[in-house]
Structure 1
Amino acid sequence: MIVLGLTGSIGMGKSTTAKLFAEAGVPVYDADATVHMIYEGEAVPAIEAVFPGTTAGGKVDRARLSAQVVHDPAAMKRLEQVVHPMLRAYHQKFLSDAEASAAPVAVVDVPLLYETGGEKRVDAVVVVTTTPEIQRERILARDNMTDEKLNAILARQLPDAEKRKRADFVVDTSHGLDPVRARIRDILAAAVKMPRRRS
């Protein structure tokens, strides 16, 4: 089984691309959805212990947690030390299940793939991109998004040009869904012929 790492900066169309991979019959692991799940379950006591006052009603209050970590790299590191081992366990289970289902290709959708060294754990990387204008427009249309928040998020992400340079495949979402579907078909056809690279 070939594992594709799907990544891209905020607002590039990565979630839509992940849905289109799933639509093509590919098992897709969604790192963000897994974070949401553990933030309503097993991660709650550990996060409350490290960041008191960031949980309420048995859930992590993402706004409060974000306020404590977004401008503090050391706090972000502590949060990752709590959350990453839990996420790794779900990731491993996903890969075992996908392998057991005899899927030729599986996709792991990880927003900070390059930033966390995740490219070593996949066979090839698919980077989703669009123009800076479309990216900004998409992001600023989101609820509670401000220029300041956006700049803080972008500061933590590897620049799009650098991601594209390092990618095995690039998907451009600037022109609607049909070109993306066609690109996914090409990527899947190429992926099944690739050697396994992940460590």
Structure 2
Amino acid sequence: MPIVEIVSFTASPAALADVSLGDASLKYTKNAEGALSVVRGFQVEDKTRGYTVITWESLDHHKKMTERDDYPAFVESLKPTLASPLQIQHVQFDGDATAAFTAPVTEITIAKPKEGKTRADIEAVIEEIKKNSHLVKGAHPPLAWGKVQQEPEAYVLAIGWDSVEAHLTAVKVAPIDSLVAKLAEVADYDLKHVTLNQ
């Protein structure tokens, strides 16, 4: 089953001034064996935060890329574009996440159980939200979710939207309003909006 790699970072001033500085690294990744799709963009809330989302045939395909002879040179080539270390998460979503990562705006939420709550508590609420996501105006369902391989207590939820405004409106309308409140009862979560392009 495909695995999605979500890479985030603070972009350097040079990369913010000229996003084409990242084109060579984007091409390298797109041409890697097993890379099904690669999109990149910036966070809406903090326009200095860059994102690259890679869908791999498997985690082994990602590992094979890191074992290539030219991989150290690839890593070195990233440095002029970065103002922070890379944050990398591998997520095996419960289904196809294409709709989330090809929408005009992608909501990426990282959720962890609150003290005294369990992963099962979070999963139950996420499933309820997913079941109702097709009813929401401006959404690009399905909601995709899965555990972060590097952090088993953490989940990533991804869903596409027409716009940030569409999302902010949706969470005020039943049944999503009560489900978001339920999620807040069982999870600490961090929500960001990202605009991604091929």
TM-score bracket, shorter-length normalisation = under 0.3
So what's the TM-score if we normalise by structure 1?
A: 0.27
- Which has a greater percent of strand? 2
Say which structure is richer in helix. 1
What TM-score results when the alignment is normalised by the length of structure 2?
A: 0.27
